[in-house]
Amino acid sequence: MSENQSNQYTFENEEYRKTYWHTCSHILAQAMKRLHPEVKLAIGPAIDNGFYYDFDMPEPFSEDQLSELEAEMRKICKEKLKLERFELPREEAIRFMEEKGEPYKVELIQDLPEDEVISFYKQGEFTDLCAGPHVDSTGRIKGNAIKLTACNAAYWRGDSSRQTLQRIYGVAFPKKEELDAYLAKIEEAKRRDHRKLGKELGLFMMTEEGPGFPFFLPKGMVLKNTLLDYWRECHKRYGYVEISTPIILNQELWHRSGHWDHYKNNMYTTKIDGEDYAVKPMNCPGGMLVYKNQPHSYRDLPLRMAELGLVHRHELSGALHGLFRVRCFTQDDAHIFMTRDQMKEEIKNVVRLFDEIYSTFGLTYRIELSTMPEDHMGEEEVWHFAEDTLQAAIQEMGKEFVINAGDGAFYGPKLDFHLADSLGRTWQCGTIQLDFQMPERFDLEYVGEDGHKHRPVMIHRALLGSIERFIGVITEHFAGAFPTWLSPVQVKVLPITDRTHEYSVQVMEKLTAMGLRCELDDRSEKIGYKIREAQLEKIPYMLVLGDKEEESGQVAVRSRKTGETQVMSLEEFMEKIGKEVETRAI
């Protein structure tokens, strides 16, 4: 038996996993109709991490009622009901759902194309409009490995002007042990939630006065600036120059770039002196103007221009989520202008930079190659050439990738880098987008070796993506216990009594002089209390100083990582932590 055949009916097979979860959504709907016949059915798909079903209910459903639904779902699994597919002509299908009193299903059928096959799946007394596929029996689903995880509001078809529905989420696995492992992982994710840790550690805050507009607090700014210092250091080594472009530019620029036609619903606009302006949702057009500011020769290329640009995008209030989905963020963009001959090597150069920075945080990644979308600019021949170049570059580097058909940017194909954190969750951060269109729209040129004018090719590139979002990602990745080099406070000095206050100040001064970020806790509290507080603040090192340490000129070093205390000279500790910071050890 081949590996593909042996994995055919396991969760390693994505198609089977989605089929399994899709069937679970039907079992959920059947359980709901048994317990609450008055409920109207909307839709119930499988999603990346389970399934959900939307219901129109007379009263809001509470999470306390989920256990009752779960119990009914387990009964349906034990009944081993056969799932039977059948088709109906359009008018008969509409009449069938009207008789069942399911107006949302009627609307879905009416909106289907005229030549669409209209299919249904029946399991026992329950029938649902569905294209499938499904497993062949409810008995295939392990009832003791089903968990309904949440219940919240959702709009019918995502339209805020339509009916508000109740969306119930769930997850299921072939084995109870797999469900238990998944739920443990979810609990760990809650413990690591960056919104919770951001508040506890004093990193950032959100306010009612600015939904989706994060405020960074002093310790959060230390974290952010340390991250950006590292970013700048790497970019300088890789041959980038840094630029800054305005936040507000006139509307004509956004028409010229093509963003207005493709992105205007996400843009904030204003008027200045009677002229229409827009707040930038991305940095690209400003980068085009910087390139166009002076003539260029082939000797200038490749020209790598990086920018930490503050951008604003209109996100729906329901989509806002801590630092992960905000309305303003700093995007670490770069625009690389080059000749066609330089394209492949520049793509590789960007990937090398990605490898260096991601590995510093202990993050691995997978790559997606996103190809030409329906809504695109430019000739298909140019698109295919660009796609082939991206593919060849990463193949020559020995990188694996998957194709994400039709999901490229409107101006060019792209490589998306999905980072995996310590819990195995993935986050799309880095992207490399190859663009032949924007240099054309902005009439960018360089003088070639032949003395004639040529059009450069351009790479759009973001590494961390949104700085704010990346901070959220690494906060959860490290559970707030940042590596020493990145920690807002690296050392906390804890005198045991007032007698060692002067010695503690001397130690602080020496550590601060070598560039370390230190705090002194000289409160008249018991040392155990001070240690516990420093542990909650996730400080990498605590120096506990008593009479014995002062007499010997030593320090008692308590490590966050090991929880152990080791006595050493101050010089030894300074050498140890200095090396840890210098190498950016994790």
Please say whether the beta carbons of 404 and 416 come within 8 A.
yes
**Catalytic (active site) residue 331:** yes
Strands 518-520 and 541-545: unpaired
* Sheet bearing 554-559, strands edge to edge: 518-520, 491-495, 541-545, 554-559, 565-569
Model pLDDT, residue 315: 87
The CA distance from 410 to 432, in Å, is 14
Model pLDDT, residue 295: 96
pLDDT tens figures, 326-343: 999 999 999 999 999 999
pLDDT interval class at 241 (50, 70, 90): very high
Strands 518-520 and 491-495: parallel
Whole-angstrom distance between the N-terminal and C-terminal Cα of the chain?
A: 43
Please say whether the beta carbons of 450 and 506 come within 8 A.
no
Please say whether the beta carbons of 284 and 335 come within 8 A.
yes
The CA distance from 219 to 544, in Å, is 23
Cite the residue boundaries of each domain of the chain with CATH code 3.30.930.10.
198-246+282-477
Exactly one of 123, 166, 331, 490 is catalytic; which is it?
331
**Catalytic (active site) residue 284:** yes
**Catalytic (active site) residue 333:** yes
Cite the residue boundaries of each domain of the chain with CATH code 3.40.50.800.
491-582
pLDDT tens figures, 280-312: 999 999 999 999 999 999 999 999 999 999 999
- Region of residue 26 (phi > 0: left; psi between -120 and 50: alpha; otherwise: beta): alpha
Exactly one of 284, 328, 429, 518 is catalytic; which is it?
284
**Catalytic (active site) residue 414:** yes
**Catalytic (active site) residue 194:** no
Report the candidate in 115, 120, 143 with the shortest Cα–Cα distance to residue 131: 120
- Residue appearing with tokens 């008249």: 524
Exactly one of 313, 461, 530, 558 is catalytic; which is it?
313
| CATH 3.40.50.2000 is right for the domain spanning 3-188 | no
**Catalytic (active site) residue 314:** no
Exactly one of 105, 312, 460, 461 is catalytic; which is it?
460
pLDDT tens figures, 336-381: 999 999 999 999 999 999 999 999 999 999 999 999 888 787 788 8
Give start and end residues of each alpha helix (H) in 79-212.
Answer: 90-99, 103-110, 176-191, 194-200
Q: Which residue has the higher pLDDT, 407 or 99?
A: 99
Cite the residue boundaries of each domain of the chain with CATH code 3.30.980.10.
3-188
Model pLDDT, residue 62: 80
Which CATH fold topology does 491-582 show?
Rossmann fold (3.40.50)
pLDDT tens figures, 144-193: 999 999 898 889 988 888 999 999 999 999 999 999 999 999 899 899 99
Model pLDDT, residue 7: 63
**Catalytic (active site) residue 321:** no
| Kind plus residue range of the DSSP H or E element containing 518 | strand 518-520
Q: Can you read off the two tokens belonging to residue 254?
A: 């956004």
The CA distance from 125 to 136, in Å, is 16
The CA distance from 223 to 329, in Å, is 15
Output the 3-class SS for 362-373.
Answer: CCEEEEEEECCC
Exactly one of 33, 312, 414, 469 is catalytic; which is it?
414
Exactly one of 332, 333, 416, 521 is catalytic; which is it?
333
Exactly one of 17, 224, 312, 335 is catalytic; which is it?
335
Model pLDDT, residue 3: 40
Please say whether the beta carbons of 131 and 26 come within 8 A.
no
In words, the CATH class of domain 198-246+282-477 is: alpha beta
